[in-house]
Amino acid sequence: MSTDDTSAASTPAPATPRNFIHDIIDEHNQSGRFEGRVHTRFPPEPNGYLHIGHAKSICLNFGLAKYYNGKCNLRFDDTNPAKEDQEYVDSIMDDVRWLGFEWDALYYASDFFEQIYQYAEQLIEKGLAYIESSPVEKIREMRGTLTQPGQHSPDRERPTAESLDLFRRMRAGEFPDGKYVLRAKIDMAHPNMNMRDPLLYRIRHAEHHRTGDTWCIYPLYDFTHGYCDSLERITHSICTLEFENHRPLYDWFIDVLDLYHPQQIEFARLNLTYTVMSKRKLLELVEAGIVRGWDDPRMPTIAGIHRRGYTPAGMRAFCEDIGVTRFNGLTNLAVLENAIRSDLNKVAPRYMAVLNPLKVVLTNYPEGQVDELDAVNNPEDASQGTRKVPFSKVLYIEQDDFMEDPPKKFFRLAPGREVRLRWGYFITCQEVVKDADGKIVELRCTYDPETRGGNAPDGRKVKSTIHWVSADHAKSAEVRLYDKLFTIENVADIPEDEDWKTYLNPESEVINTIAKLEPALGDHPAGFTCQFERLGYFCVDKDSTPAQLVFNRTVTLKDEWTKLQKKAD
Residue span binding ligand ATP (CB under 6 A) among the ranges 277-285, 343-351, 440-448, 522-530? 277-285
Coil, strand or helix at 514: strand
Nearer to ligand ATP, 216 or 339 (CB): 339
Beta carbon of residue 117, minimum distance to ligand ATP (angstroms, whole number): 22
Which one from 45, 320, 380, 489 is the annotated catalytic residue?
45
Active site residue 121: no
**Distance of closest approach, residue 204 Cβ to ligand ATP, in angstroms:** 19
Distance in angstroms (rounded) separating the CA atoms of residues 447 and 456: 12
Residue 300 CB, shortest distance to ligand ATP, in Å, is 9
Beta bridge partners of 433: 442
Q: Which of 169, 269, 359, 387 is catalytic?
A: 269
In the bound state with ligand ATP, the residue whose beta carbon lies nearer, of 188 and 290, is 290
| Residues 102-121 as b or e (16 or more Cβ within 10 Å = b) | ebbeebbbbbbbeebbebbb
Q: At what angle do helices 221-231 and 113-125 cross, to 10 degrees?
A: 110
Q: What DSSP string runs through 50-112? A: -BHHHHHHHHHHHHHHHHTT-EEEEEE----TTT--HHHHHHHHHHHHHTT---S-EEEGGGG
According to CB under 6 A, which one of 278, 487, 505, 562 is a site residue for ligand ATP? 278
Rounded to whole angstroms, how far apart are CA atoms 80 and 201? 11
Q: State the number of binding residues for ligand ATP (CB under 6 A).
A: 14
Would the CA dihedral through 417, 422, 426, 427 be positive or negative? negative
409 is catalytic: no
Give the interface segment with ligand ATP, choosing from 193-201, 272-280, 342-350, 457-465 (CB under 6 A).
Answer: 272-280
E strand intervals along 320-385:
350-351, 353-354, 357-362, 371-376
Rounded CA-CA distance 399/354 in Å is: 9
Residue 457: C-alpha distances to residues 81, 362, 372, 445 (Å): 75, 20, 20, 20
Residue 460 known to be catalytic: no
Min separation Cβ 315 and ligand ATP, Å: 13
Residues 30-69 that bind ligand ATP (CB under 6 A): 43-45, 53-54, 56-57
* Closer to ligand ATP by Cβ: residue 44 or 219: 44
Q: Which is nearer to ligand ATP, 45 or 442 (CB)?
A: 45
Q: Which one, 231 or 283, has the nearer CB to ligand ATP?
A: 283
Q: Which of 185, 236, 279, 292 lies at the binding interface for ligand ATP (CB under 6 A)?
A: 279
Under the criterion CB under 6 A, does residue 362 sit at the interface with ligand ATP? Answer: no
Among 59, 64, 129, 277, binds ligand ATP (CB under 6 A): 277
d(CA 518, CA 528): 15
CB of 197 vs ligand ATP, minimal distance in Å: 24
Query: Which lies closer to ligand ATP via its Cβ, residue 279 or residue 417?
Result: 279
Residues 6+ apart with CB under 8 A from 84: 45, 46, 47, 76, 78, 208, 209
Amino acid at 185: K
Q: How many CB atoms lie within 10 A of CB 511?
A: 9
* DSSP track, 142-175: TT--SSS-----GGGG--HHHHHHHHHHHHTT-S
- Residue 556 CB neighbours (<10 A): 16
22 vs 83, which CB is nearer to ligand ATP?
83
- Residue closest to ligand ATP, measured at CB: 53
| Contact flags string 93-112 toward ligand ATP, x per CB under 6 A | --------------------
Q: How far is the CB of 268 from ligand ATP (least distance, A)?
A: 8
- Is 208 a residue that touches ligand ATP (CB under 6 A)? no
- Of these residues, 71, 158, 279, 316, which one is catalytic? 279
Enumerate residues 6+ apart whose C-beta is below 8 A from 291: 285, 298, 299
Q: Give 96 or 124: the residue with its C-beta nearer to ligand ATP.
A: 96
239 binds ligand ATP (CB under 6 A): yes
In the complex with ligand ATP, which residue's Cβ is closer, 170 or 238?
A: 238
Residue 332 to residue 339: CA distance in whole angstroms: 12
Q: Tell me how far, at minimum, the Cβ of 271 lies from ligand ATP, in Å.
A: 6
| Spatial CA neighbour of 206 closest among 88, 80, 86, 109 | 80
Give me the least distance between CB of 301 and ligand ATP, in Å please.
10
Please answer whether residues 362 and 445 qualify as being in contact, where contact means their C-beta atoms are separated by less than 8 angstroms.
yes
Q: Which stretch binds ligand ATP (CB under 6 A): 124-132, 270-278, 297-305, 551-559?
A: 270-278
DSSP character at residue 463: S
Q: Pick the binder of ligand ATP from 160, 240, 273, 446 (CB under 6 A).
A: 240
For the CB of residue 194, give the shortest distance to ligand ATP in the complex, in Å.
16
Contacts of 382 (CB under 8 A, 6+ apart): none
Residues acting as catalytic residues: 45, 269, 279
Site residues (CB under 6 A) for ligand ATP?
43-45, 53-54, 56-57, 239-240, 269-270, 277-279
